[in-house]
Amino acid sequence: MVDAPVSDLTRKPLANGVANSESTLTQLVSGIADDAQQLIRQQYQMLRAEIREDIRRTTSAAKYMSIGAAGVFVGMLFLVVSTPLLLNWLFDLPPWGGWAIIGGTLFVAGAIALYVGKRMFAKFNPLPDKTLNAIEENLSWIAKPRS
């Protein structure tokens, strides 16, 4: 989704496919600079459109994930409360025995999940790489001195 048109109709067309002999070096350099500015503007608009699309998709996914997380949380809460009572009943443990077993198990599982999530998050890059690489390449090309 790009807001500006790709073509710029303010440029003068070439006569018979050849540049006007009256074109000066200043006009040519000015035309190149205008083209470079237009390219940067278009890439900026492409970057904005890409970020907007990523935000829209993330928001949509987050809505469903939050509903699912709430349901899982309530269900797990009931299971966590009932499991120590079940262990106490099945194995004739002291009142704190079942709670200690479940607490320790949940602690270890939570630590493993945190570790895995941290590693996954470290590999994630939220920036739009394609557009940023194109902008960086164009800026380095423009800044490169010509001989």
39-80 pLDDT tens trace: 999 999 999 999 999 999 999 899 999 999 999 999 989 998
Q: What is the pLDDT of residue 111?
A: 97
Q: What is the pLDDT of residue 142?
A: 80
Q: Residue 98, Cβ neighbours under 10 Å: how many?
A: 20
As a whole number of angstroms, the distance between CA 110 and CA 113 comes to 5
Q: Considering the entire predicted model, what is its pTM?
A: 0.42
At residue 15, what are phi and psi to the nearest 5 degrees? -85, 120
Q: What is the pLDDT of residue 14?
A: 53
Q: What is the pLDDT of residue 10?
A: 55
Q: In percent, how much of the chain has pLDDT > 90?
A: 54
Q: Which of helix, strand or coil describes residue 147?
A: coil
Q: What is the pLDDT of residue 5?
A: 52
Q: What is the pLDDT of residue 83?
A: 93
Q: What is the pLDDT of residue 139?
A: 83
Q: Which of helix, strand or coil describes residue 141?
A: helix
Residues of the chain falling short of pLDDT 70 = 1-22, 126, 146-147
